[in-house]
Chain A
Amino acid sequence: AQSVAQPEDQVNVAEGNPLTVKCTYSVSGNPYLFWYVQYPNRGLQFLLKYITGDNLVKGSYGFEAEFNKSQTSFHLKKPSALVSDSALYFCAGVPQDTGRRALTFGSGTRLQVQP
């Protein structure tokens, strides 16, 4: 069975400071990994995706994530947080090479950026 864990229910950071939202995964074999963001009353929006190759993935709105196979982690980062980054963030994964398309999502982390 596969799982994705987001150990923090909420992350608080001051505007202008770097932010990190943590994600660890347990997926058989190599994973595809994703980050999505959810704003109130809106659908999940894709931020970035790890397929293979470069462990540092750059995505939308200045976000990036680092794939670390030895630590089975895919933490989301941004060098300088904005108040508008405040939202609910979800990490998701699925095994490669299985044909499986069902993403397993973490429980989400609420990011609060204070002015």
Chain B
Amino acid sequence: GAVVSQHPSRVICKSGTSVKIECRSLDFQATTMFWYRQFPKKSLMLMATSNEGSKATYEQGVEKDKFLINHASLTLSTLTVTSAHPEDSSFYICSARSLSLTLFDEQFFGPGTRLTVL
């Protein structure tokens, strides 16, 4: 089946630093990748949608200057949390939708990245 990886799986950083999280589709090409944030014991909140080669579309209330998303290729998207603060601590999950003629394709989810900002 389609596999999506995330790196790192866990990161701890100091307040004020920037952290980059990678999301890769390992065995398929992803036209669209999604980034979600999940608070403890809460549901997934969509942060942004990125299409290869174009700017990401951010959901209302998500700071685009703080959460930089780059989708440079059909297999890689990155999320950079700039000047991270403790309130940015969360579980970040990416997903990828396959390149297909089917209108509604399944999203394949990565295992998530636990970010802790001290």
Task: Check if A and B associate.
Answer: no
Interface residues of A (CB under 8 A from B): none
Residues of B in contact with A (beta carbons under 8 Å apart): none
